[in-house]
Structure 1
Amino acid sequence: MAVLAFDHAPVGLAVTRNRVIERCNARFCETFGYAEDELPQRSLAVLYPSQEEFLRIGEIGSRRMRETGRYADERIMQRRNGALFWCRVRGQSLTPDDPFARAVWSFADLSESRPVADLTARERQVAALLAEGQTNKEIARVLELSPRTAEAHRARLQAKLGARNTAELVARLTGLPL
């Protein structure tokens, strides 16, 4: 029964070992635009817009998973054809002492409710933190920026997404109706 649930889940599922895909379901492959035999034994890095983002999110995820054994966020990911899309990611470590040694992940495509704007890597980082409810000061601390720089990124996001204020920006980032 567990195999049936894994293979036919309505979201993409992957089992990883040290951030390398061991096994994934058909929805996972479909979400990222790969054939079912192409992703096993490949690094999750191929699914990120850049190596820098793969490493940065890995550092954040490792810290959180060491504390709780779990990680969750919403971020921009990349399909095989290079198209970017918003994705809800949830992870559970199977090896608490070494969180990435073995983990199970779910990936839900949010592109229908949250289109991607043309954002820089830093703007994507700020957008993800804003979507989590972080303040400019908290974003500055996490990204090691000055609060004014974080505010400038938020202001550029507002302009790019046509939001009049932070509440409207967060609504646009999270796909909530305005």
Structure 2
Amino acid sequence: MSDPAFDYAPVGLALLEHRIIKRCNLQFADTFGATPAELCELPIAALYPSVEDYQRIGEILQMPESQSGFYHDERIMRRTSGALFWCRVRGRSMDGAHPFQTGVWSFADLSDERPVVSLTPREREVAILTCRGLSAKEIGLKLDLSYRTVETHRARLLDKFNARKLPELVAKLSGMPL
């Protein structure tokens, strides 16, 4: 079944059922370094940087605040070559109460705007929540960490991104010009 609007959309699109790629467009395949046929029936887990990242996103999708059926974030994903890259992800489940049943997801490659820096899964979580404007205390509550532990993760992020202060780190993380 061919749909030119889906197949030739300028953003990567994938139809997932139970976190298995059932259909994807040309841009999605190009972004991940494969053909649509090679990606069809592939578990989306194969495109995550780690099993832990895959499980963490799965847990988030099952939280009560995700029951709207809409989800979005920016995260590291993995091409079929193994190369890691930043990606903007937007998704909509057909049924918010069953987020993995069927959903349409878009994936936009951000690697030109944001180079990949090796981060631990916890550093990625802290970086994402920092970019959303949460304080160290708010991040600590959300991730069940002390605010001092969050500050330690932020200090490592400042070092890894060669940023002097938090606003500079946020600018570098979000791809904004400095």
| Other structure's SS at 1:37 match | helix
Contact 1:76–1:87 under 8 Å retained in 2: yes
Distance 2:141 2:75 in 1: 19
Q: Which amino acid aligns with 2:162?
A: G
CA shift for structure 1 position 21: 0.8
Q: Which amino acid aligns with 2:43?
A: S
SS at match of 2:37: coil
1:171 is aligned to 2:171: yes
Per the alignment, residue 21 of structure 1 pairs with 21
Please say if residues 23 and 36 of structure 2, whose CA atoms lie closer than 8 Å, have aligned partners that are also in contact: no
State the shift of 1:37 in Å: 1.1
User: What is the identity, as a one-letter code, of the residue corresponding to 1:175?
Assistant: G
> Is 2:95 aligned against 1:91?
no
Deviation at 1:155, TM superposition (A): 0.7
Distance across 1 between alignment mates of 2:134 and 2:81 = 32
Separation of aligned partners in 1, 2:83 and 2:128: 18
In 1, Cα distance between equivalents of 2:110 and 2:41: 26
1:106-121 counterparts in 2 under 5 A?
106-121=106-121
Alignment RMSD: 1.4
Unaligned runs of 5+ in 2: none
TM-score (norm 1): 0.93
Where structure 1 has 5 or more consecutive residues not aligned to the other structure, the ranges are: none
Structure 2 match to 1:65: 66
Cα deviations across residues 74-97 of structure 1 (Å, max 9, x unaligned)?
A: 011111111111100000111233
Residue 62 of structure 1, CA deviation: 2.6
Corresponding residue of 1:157: 157
> Cα offset for 1:133?
2.3
Aligned to 1:51: 51
Counterpart code for 2:84: L
The structural deviation recorded for 1:120 is 2.0
Matched residue type, 1:110? L
How far, CA to CA, are the matches of 1:142 and 1:160 in structure 2? 23
TM-score (norm 2): 0.93
| Residue aligned with 1:105, SS | strand
Question: What secondary structure sits across from 1:104 in the alignment?
Answer: strand
The share of aligned pairs that are identical, in percent, is 55
* Pairwise CA distance, 1:132: 2.3
Residue 8 of structure 2 corresponds to residue 8 of structure 1: yes
Deviations 1:40-86 (A, max 9, x none): 111111111100110001111232431x2100000111111111111
